[in-house]
Amino acid sequence: MNHRTAAFYTLGCKLNFSETSTIARDLEEVGFARVEFEKGADIYIINTCSVTDQADKKCRNIVRKALKYNPNAFVVVIGCYAQLKPKEISSINGVDLVLGAQEKFKISNYLNKLDKNSSAVVMNKHIKHVNEFYPGYSQGDRVRSFFKVQDGCNYFCSFCTIPLARGKSRSGSVKQTILKAKELANSEVKEVVLTGVNIGDFGNGTNENFYDLIKELDKIENIDRFRISSIEPDLLSDQIIEFVHNSNKFVPHFHIPLQSGSDQLLKSMRRRYDTKLYSDKIEKIKKLMPNACIGVDVIVGYPGETDEEFNKTMNFLKSLPISYLHVFTYSERANTTAPRMGEVVPMEERRKRSKQLRILSLKLKQKFYQEQIGSQEKVLLETKEDNSIYGFTENYIKVKIPGEMELKNNIVNVKLKELNSDIEAIGEIIN
């Protein structure tokens, strides 16, 4: 095994990226060298997503690509789609091994031989028996790291397959999580993004919670920034908001799923809040941190979303001091209750509404960026492109700094001078 190579392809969320990176490091420990996807690896590992209805198509395309680079490659498919639809994946020509939600973390156990199989081997435990928590983090891919602190979900929203793909909510203890974070602190990573399926549910079933965790993370040396990824509004306590406001390391950036601005639809979706609670959270954040960046998830075309209900969502979003939207066009998912919850919205109408919300998102982003022009910000420089270097402020403003610089992975003081047509802030480094 000492000279074997492995290549990876990741679909979906930040959580998937953290898991792919962790699995890659585990394989390196047993003798696999990680190579670029195009290099014709001995083994290809495809980490799938199930959030949209394109999972099957995407998976097939990537398997095809892998076999183009090495027709004899051993192809492994893991991730949410592999847990939900293992039989469908096993029928894809060229797939050798399908690993479910728990088995993917023990991948080296299944790689004693890498001979192509006449038919795919499926190792997939029923989701109700998936209860172990495997922490992980991304490293080496970029200057920020996605740090997995939680997995699974107990919410069972009517449109979502994630509880079926990832199981019940679970996490390590605060102590265990801090030990993992200290591993990251010994690397060159400057920013850590806390990820999970439902991170606000950290510590579920124990006497610990997410607030306990972030208090301890804030004390860790050699990590400059912590960023909280998506957190449910009902779990974003005032205590957490106040802590971020007073923190030395947690940045003023929140991503808070809304899904709909209609209380009727929120109830149908089985969401655990209403628009009043949601707007109260936004108001609390902006009162303490006027320059905070707030991202919002929205679903369009959910069953029963009439023109009136959609307009409620549009008007509600326009009333909030938010910074950008992530727009999801509703797609019917097997084994969810949403398809029975109301009249079907035609696909053409879903696309039309999605376009309207994307236009609104651009307007919100432009307004938020414009409000920051003239300010001085700390920018973590990440990528070099042409004659410029790009990075992000603490409140998630993308900044372009013209000039030839070798400052990647450095935090510098920048004055935001103007906004360009790509909705990027043009910055100038100041001493």
Closest CA to 424 of 340, 339, 362: 362
216 shares its domain with 196:
yes
Please report the pLDDT score of residue 115 as a whole number: 77
Q: What is the mean pLDDT of residues 256-283?
A: 98
Residue where a domain terminates, one of 217, 232, 251: 251
Residue where a domain terminates, one of 84, 107, 129: 129
185 shares its domain with 195:
yes
Please report the pLDDT score of residue 404 as a whole number: 77
100 shares its domain with 171:
no
Residue where a domain terminates, one of 108, 129, 150: 129
32: buried, middle or exposed (CB in 10 Å: 19+, 13-18, 0-12)? buried
State the pLDDT confidence band at 142, using cuts at 50, 70 and 90. low
* Comparison of pLDDT for 417 and 404, the residue scoring more: 417
Please report the pLDDT score of residue 51 as a whole number: 67
Whether 74 shows a pLDDT value over 70: the answer reads: yes
171 shares its domain with 118:
no
78 shares its domain with 152:
no
pTM, whole model, 2 decimals?
0.92
Percent of residues, the chain, with pLDDT higher than 70:
98
121 shares its domain with 137:
no
Percent of residues, the chain, with pLDDT higher than 90:
85
CATH number at residue 198: 3.30.750.210
Closest CA to 80 of 44, 124, 40, 49: 49
Q: Tell whether 260 is covered by a domain.
A: no
186 shares its domain with 209:
yes
Q: CA geometry: angle at 12 spanning 7 and 17, to 5°?
A: 50
Q: What's the pLDDT tens digit per position in 316-331? A: 999 999 999 999 999 9
* Comparison of pLDDT for 377 and 52, the residue scoring more: 377
Residues 211 and 239 sit within 8 Å (Cβ to Cβ): yes
Q: Tell whether 58 is covered by a domain.
A: yes
Domain hosting residue 173, numbered range: 131-251
119 shares its domain with 84:
yes
Task: Write down the mean pLDDT value for the chain.
Answer: 94
119 shares its domain with 156:
no
Please report the pLDDT score of residue 1 as a whole number: 42
115 shares its domain with 32:
yes
CATH number at residue 383: 2.40.50
Please report the pLDDT score of residue 18 as a whole number: 94
Query: How many domains in the chain?
Result: 3
